[in-house]
Structure 1
Amino acid sequence: MKKILFLLGGIALVVGGVYFTRPASVSLPSSIMPASAPSASNADKEKKYVRAPEFVNPSGFINTNGIALKDVVGSKVILVDFWTYSCINCQRTLPYLTAWYDKYKDQGLEIISVHTPEFAFEKKNENVARAAKEFGINYPIIQDNDYATWNAYGNRYWPRKYLIDIDGYIVYDHIGEGAYEETERKIQEALAERKARLKEEGEIARSTVDVAEEKTHARSPEIYFGAARNTNFGNGKKQTRGEQTLTTPEKITTDTLYLDGTWDFGEEFAQNRTAQAKITFRYNAKNVFMVARADTPISLRILRDGMPIMATVSGVDVADGAATVRDDRLYHLVADPAGAGEHTLEIIVDSPGLQAFTFTFG
């Protein structure tokens, strides 16, 4: 799970074994209106739930020419999903979302994806559209490049889901991965209420979707390369923009990022200026992912524990011990069938121009 910051005060919440805090309710700025006004018949809901804010200043749309909450409230149940396409935590939830959409779209469920970017390249419509096609997303996507809808909902996490009933109230929300059966049961309850309200015939299926869930085994934290958040940087000036020429020390520490060669640090990424630059990181996980891009294709040679990585533990983006980076996306470098373990990853960058954003683990 990714988060922007911890919120002080409010309700204590345990998600996936991690303790967080969040506001007791969504606090709406005075300029943000809910999707519909309360009615006398909703008096009990008005006391118990928060009305869902409208989507604010969308930057673009995918799989739709435009959609507003007010156009859907009163006729459908809506599941709003905040995500960003290079986030591995978000990616692992998508098989459930697409399965729910296929199962319930004809029974009154609308899923609306709010894509709020973590990195600048995730603002590009063509990148989000390509990711949507790759992940098989057919429901509407709203681009939230300026965080307007994110802020209207008081959100701080990728991913996060809000379930909105037929009357426009947020009746359930979930932070992060997991709780899939619980979430689907809540969807079924909201759909049953909708069906009764609209006097539609038939029953809502009580079964739940069966998706092979990829559980995280990681003990290593997310690691940022850019100057804004590279607090785990081990052999240079942390949180400092500009060029640094670096040498990896003989002794390295687990969960600490080391770079070799000349690197130029921007806010979001570090870019190598010299050929044969190197990234070294000792991790504890089953899977290793890297968010990266390049203007022209760049070859990376991948070593694990001092040896070229074997095919049996290579991620899907590695072939014959190498990966090629070009597109702005998440690259899967290591996938160890033996499970989580502590290993040293070395990445040799053959030519200048790699923009490395993060390591994430699973």
Structure 2
Amino acid sequence: MQKYRVIILVLLVVAIVVAIGLLEKSRVGSGGEERGGLIQRMNDMNAKEKSVKYPAARELAGIAGYINSEPFKLEDQIGKKVILLDIWTYSCINCQRTLPYLNSWQEKYAEAGLLIVGVHTPEFEFEKKLENVQRAVEQYGINYPVVLDNDYATWHSYNNRYWPRKFLIDIDGYVVYDHIGEGGYQETERKIQELLAERADRLGIEADVAMEVSNFDTGAPTAGGNSPEIYFGASRNSYLGNGKDGKVGEQVFTEPEGLKTHILYLAGRWQFASEYAENLEAGTKIIYRYVGQRVFFVAQADKPTKALILRDGEPIAKELAGADIQYDAQGDSYIEVSESRLYKLIEQGAQEEHTLEIIPQTPGLQAFTFTFG
């Protein structure tokens, strides 16, 4: 009798253990389903919130050419990639100074799912030429796709007014970040890292994202008060001091006796087009009293054209010379203008006020703009 009681007790205990196990299994299964449903509802809620808070990405429009890629559409990358759109133009010094960061992000994050697209929207007609943009892309070591937005279709689609400008598009296709101009690099990179982590979670893959941020000395100005950007062409030459601004055609200038800061002066015969002024004879002058640390000059010529560069009436000292300054046998500082691009004239190291003179030695120099930093 005692033996049967023990057997019955053992069977009862086993039955209780099995029942408890089945109950726990049922709870775990039910809880897992509940948590899964909650996660799905959170994802749905986030998508709804995004649709209210952020605009949807717009497709690339009116693209005239592709560099570093075959033709593609953004819609084919949404749901697969985090996309950074960089609106730029190659003769813009502000754009050039962002490129070390973009190249670094391409190297660090492309394999983790970042797609950088350079949207090249030209400021000047010469920047519409595929061969000119291709040369700049090679010069600056750009490996990500660059598309030519020659008619401003994508620019207008994104309601843009600035060079450079960066938009970040998340895996759901929403423009969740927007930065105008230079700077903000750490903030931008942290946002890239955040969006790549979200992408990995959404795709159910391990996030392999470098968490350190890049840091470069881009040479951006550290103080305000620099001279404004100066345009030579008739459409925007409001700072012209000794002639008729806004006028297309030929004008003859006399060198002024006194100079005002931030005012453009010319000497000799010049022909004005909408975008540039072209000297019609040797020995003409560009004269400008500037405030700044660095001086940049956008120009082109149909054939190589030598132009002397003077600061306060003297050749540029070698320790102050920009990357494009050369020296002849007499020690005169000059640039040789041929390619349609930005030329680097002066790197002073400190913000100062000086008089700059550019003296073309032959006709045919087409001057577009000065910028200062």
Which TM bucket (shorter chain)?
A: 0.7 to 0.9
Return the alpha-carbon distance in structure 2 between the equivalents of residues 248 and 69 of structure 1: 54
Query: Where in structure 1 are there 5+ consecutive unaligned residues?
Result: 1-38
Superposed CA offset, 1:60-106 (max 9, x none): 11001112101111100000000000000000000000000100000
TM-score, normalization by structure 2: 0.85
Q: Does 1:133 align with 2:138?
A: yes
Q: Does 1:347 align with 2:347?
A: no
Q: Residue 203 of structure 1: CA displacement?
A: 4.1
Aligned residue runs from structure 1 range 218-257, under 5 A: 219-257=226-264
- Could you say which structure has the higher helix fraction? 2
Return the alpha-carbon distance in structure 1 between the equivalents of residues 261 and 47 of structure 2: 54
Q: Relative to structure 2, which stretch is displaced further, 272-281 or 217-226?
A: 217-226
Superposed CA offset, 1:213-257 (max 9, x none): 322156110000000000000000011110000012110100100
**Residues 308 and 254 of structure 1: is their aligned pair in 2 closer, same or farther, counting only changes over 3 Å?**
same
Superposed CA offset, 1:132-170 (max 9, x none): 000010000110000000000100000000000001100
Q: Relative to structure 2, which stretch is displaced further, 198-207 or 149-158?
A: 198-207
For residue 155 of structure 2, give the secondary structure of its aligned residue in structure 1.
helix
Aligned residue runs from structure 1 range 263-278, under 5 A: 263-278=270-285
Residue 35 of structure 1 corresponds to none
Return the alpha-carbon distance in structure 2 between the equivalents of residues 104 and 287 of structure 1: 33
Q: Does 1:356 align with 2:367?
A: yes
Q: Which runs of 4+ in 1 moved over 2 A?
A: 202-205
Q: Residue 41 of structure 1: CA displacement?
A: 6.5
Return the alpha-carbon distance in structure 2 between the equivalents of residues 87 and 201 of structure 1: 39
TM-score, normalization by structure 1: 0.88
For residue 110 of structure 2, give the secondary structure of its aligned residue in structure 1.
helix
The total of aligned residue pairs comes to 323
**Residues 186 and 341 of structure 1: is their aligned pair in 2 closer, same or farther, counting only changes over 3 Å?**
same
Q: Does 1:309 align with 2:316?
A: yes
Q: Residue 210 of structure 1: CA displacement?
A: 2.2
Return the alpha-carbon distance in structure 2 between the equivalents of residues 146 and 225 of structure 1: 22
Aligned residue runs from structure 1 range 126-275, under 5 A: 126-216=131-221, 217=223, 219-275=226-282
Structure of greater Rg: 2
Is the contact made by 2:265 and 2:287 (CA closer than 8 Å) also made in structure 1? yes
Q: Residue 204 of structure 1: CA displacement?
A: 2.3
Q: Relative to structure 2, which stretch is displaced further, 156-165 or 300-309?
A: 300-309
For residue 187 of structure 2, give the secondary structure of its aligned residue in structure 1.
helix
Return the alpha-carbon distance in structure 2 between the equivalents of residues 318 and 158 of structure 1: 26
Q: Does 1:85 align with 2:101?
A: no
Q: Residue 44 of structure 1: CA displacement?
A: 1.1
Q: Residue 357 of structure 1: CA displacement?
A: 0.1
What value does the CA root-mean-square deviation take over the aligned residues? 1.1
Q: Residue 205 of structure 1: CA displacement?
A: 2.3
For residue 104 of structure 2, give the secondary structure of its aligned residue in structure 1.
helix
Is the contact made by 2:248 and 2:274 (CA closer than 8 Å) also made in structure 1? yes
Identity %, equivalent residues: 55
Return the alpha-carbon distance in structure 1 between the equivalents of residues 66 and 143 of structure 2: 12
Q: Which amino acid aligns with 2:61?
A: V
Aligned residue runs from structure 1 range 43-82, under 5 A: 43-82=48-87
Query: Where in structure 2 are there 5+ consecutive unaligned residues?
Result: 1-43, 328-332
Return the alpha-carbon distance in structure 2 between the equivalents of residues 211 and 199 of structure 1: 34
Q: Which amino acid aligns with 1:346?
A: E
For residue 178 of structure 1, give the secondary structure of its aligned residue in structure 2.
coil
Is the contact made by 1:311 and 1:319 (CA closer than 8 Å) also made in structure 2? no
Return the alpha-carbon distance in structure 1 between the equivalents of residues 286 and 214 of structure 2: 41
For residue 158 of structure 1, give the secondary structure of its aligned residue in structure 2.
coil
